Amino acid sequence: MIQDNLKKVQERIHTLDKNQQVTLIAVSKTKPASDLQQAIDAGQCHFGENYLQEALNKIEILKNQDLIWHFIGPIQSNKTNKIAENFDWVHSVDRLKIAKRLNDQRPEDMDKLNVLLQINIDNESTKSGILEDEIDGFIPYFENFKNIVLRGFMCMPSPDNTEKSFKKMAEILQKYPNFDTLSMGMSNDLDLAVKNGATFVRIGTDIFGKRT
Ligand SMILES: *Cc1c(COP(=O)(O)O)cnc(C)c1O
pLDDT tens-digit map of 52-80: 999 999 999 999 999 999 999 999 999 99
pLDDT in tens, 33-54: 999 999 999 999 999 999 999 9
Angle at 51 between CA 4 and CA 98, to 5 degrees: 125
| Domains of the chain, first to last | 2-9+21-207 (3.20.20.10)
Residue 212 has pLDDT above 90, yes or no: no
pLDDT in tens, 98-134: 999 999 999 999 999 999 999 999 999 999 999 999 9
Least Cα distance to 99 among 130, 69, 54, 126 occurs for 130
Q: Mean pLDDT over residues 185-207, rounded?
A: 97
Q: Whose CA is nearest to atom 13 of ligand 1?
A: 72
With a 6 Å cutoff on the Cβ, whether 186 touches ligand 1 is yes
Give the span between the Cα atoms of 191 and 209, in whole angstroms: 18
Query: Whole-model pTM above 0.85?
Result: yes
With a 6 Å cutoff on the Cβ, whether 29 touches ligand 1 is yes
Give the span between the Cα atoms of 182 and 117, in whole angstroms: 10
- Predicted confidence at residue 69, as pLDDT, reads 99
With a 6 Å cutoff on the Cβ, whether 82 touches ligand 1 is no
